[in-house]
């Protein structure tokens, strides 16, 4: 992305991001997944993604103990089956929704899940680019 600067517009920046992400190798995708906090891991969200990741996963804040435990168990089952972390664009989703999505996706083929996770990661990237642009525009006022 840095080598592609300067961007002519925010849309140009997002299109460049899409182009780069769509050309990513399996190893690149898995590296991005590893840098992403596990859903429901509050400490990991703070360490891996700071305030943005914590805010994105805030649907887990109101999770009951049963839902939180089920998410932890589901994450472990998913990782054991797929060989990589469960990625979902958590923004706007409740803990129950994220758990239900996990339960539906855990039975998918790993190659299908890699594509699904990559698409979810791209949604997260777009949200974060929008946040970055918003912060930059307000800081320049």
pLDDT of residue 74: 98
Which has the closest alpha carbon to 15: 7, 24, 6, 27? 7
pLDDT at 140 over 80: no
Asked whether residue 3 is assigned to any structural domain, the reply reads no
Residue range of the domain that includes 47: 10-139
Q: What are the tens digits of pLDDT across the range 78-93? A: 999 999 999 999 999 9
User: Would residue 66 count as lying in a domain?
Assistant: yes
| Residue 19 falls inside a structural domain | yes
Q: Is the peptide bond before 26 cis (omega within 30 degrees of 0)?
A: no
Structural domain includes residue 5: no
How far is residue 107 from each of residues 8, 23, 77, 110, 113, measured CA to CA in Å?
Answer: 42, 26, 10, 9, 9
- Pick from 53, 114, 48, 45: nearest CA to 79: 114
The distance in angstroms from the start CA to the end CA of the chain is: 25
What is the number of structural domains in the chain? 1
The mean pLDDT value for 40-68 works out to 72
Q: What is the pLDDT of residue 85?
A: 97
- Its pTM stands at 0.85
Instruction: Output the domain CATH number for residue 33.
Output: 1.10.3330.10
In a domain, 108, yes or no: yes
Any domain includes 116? yes
Q: What would the mean pLDDT of 48-68 be, rounded to a whole number?
A: 75
């Amino acid at each position: 992305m840095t080598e592609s600067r300067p961007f002519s517009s925010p849309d140009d920046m997002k299109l460049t991001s899409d182009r780069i992400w769509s050309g990513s190798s399996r190893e690149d995708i898995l590296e991005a997944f590893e840098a992403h906090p596990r859903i429901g891991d509050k400490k990991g969200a703070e360490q891996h993604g700071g305030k943005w990741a914590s805010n994105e996963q805030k649907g887990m804040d109101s999770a009951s103990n049963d839902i939180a435990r089920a998410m932890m168990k589901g994450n472990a089952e998913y990782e054991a089956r797929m060989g990589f972390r469960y990625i979902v664009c958590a923004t706007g989703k409740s803990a129950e929704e994220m758990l239900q999505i996990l339960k539906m996706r855990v039975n998918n083929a790993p190659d299908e899940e890699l594509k699904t996770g990559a698409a979810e990661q791209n949604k997260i990237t777009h949200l974060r680019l929008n946040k970055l642009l918003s912060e930059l525009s307000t800081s320049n006022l």
